[in-house]
């Protein structure tokens, strides 16, 4: 079973991306009735292009979220096999008494598992940051097209 990452839902993100792409396609189809050089047609074209690009970016991000959730589940399984716990990207030892050999093994393994958790969290953060940049860029481009259409 894949553990869901808190604050993520790849299915909903993908569905939103698909909805945006469908909307962009519909808008592009509706442009046939407008003269291509009209300001409204140019604004609608720019908007459709950006909505499609964001829809595509959301679908890529949904795939990344699904892959990250699977990787997180594998990380938790690895940690559990070593007697460790992963909570919110932090690897810890459970409370309780253990033998010195188990403590020594956990002491060696915990930093390695934590490094894996850190890499996974970093990859997820980079994906989110890239999506945020794409959204900001799309917003700016639509705003410029809107200003030009006025």
Q: What single-letter DSSP state applies at residue 95?
A: S
> What is the share, in percent, of the chain residues with pLDDT greater than 90?
67
Residue 46: pLDDT band with limits 50, 70, 90: very high
Task: Please give the mean pLDDT across all residues of the chain.
Answer: 91
**Domain layout of the chain by residue ranges:** 10-149
Q: What pTM, to 2 d.p., does this model score?
A: 0.82
**64-84: per-residue pLDDT in tens?**
999 999 999 999 999 999 999
In this prediction, residue 101 has a pLDDT band, given cuts at 50, 70 and 90, of confident
Q: Residue 3 pLDDT more than 80?
A: no
Q: Which residues contact 52 (CB under 8 A, 6 or more apart)?
A: 20, 21, 24, 25, 28
DSSP conformational letter for 140: H
Reference 23, options 58, 62, 66; nearest CA is 58
Query: Can you tell me the distance from the alpha carbon of 60 to that of 20, in angstroms, rounded to the nearest whole number?
Result: 13
């Amino acid at each position: 079973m894949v553990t869901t990452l808190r604050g993520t839902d790849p299915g909903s993100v993908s569905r939103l991306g698909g909805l945006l792409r469908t909307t962009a396609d519909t808008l592009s189809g509706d442009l046939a009735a407008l003269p291509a050089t009209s300001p409204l047609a140019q604004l609608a074209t720019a908007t459709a292009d950006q909505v499609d690009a964001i829809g595509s970016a959301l679908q890529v991000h949904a795939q990344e979220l699904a892959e990250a959730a699977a990787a997180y589940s594998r990380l938790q399984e690895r940690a559990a096999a070593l007697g460790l716990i992963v909570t919110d990207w932090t690897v810890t030892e459970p409370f309780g008494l253990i033998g010195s050999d188990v403590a020594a093994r956990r002491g060696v393994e915990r930093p390695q598992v934590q490094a894996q958790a850190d890499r996974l969290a970093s990859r997820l953060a980079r994906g989110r940051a890239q999506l945020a940049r794409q959204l900001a860029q799309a917003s700016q481009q639509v705003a410029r097209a809107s200003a030009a259409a006025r």
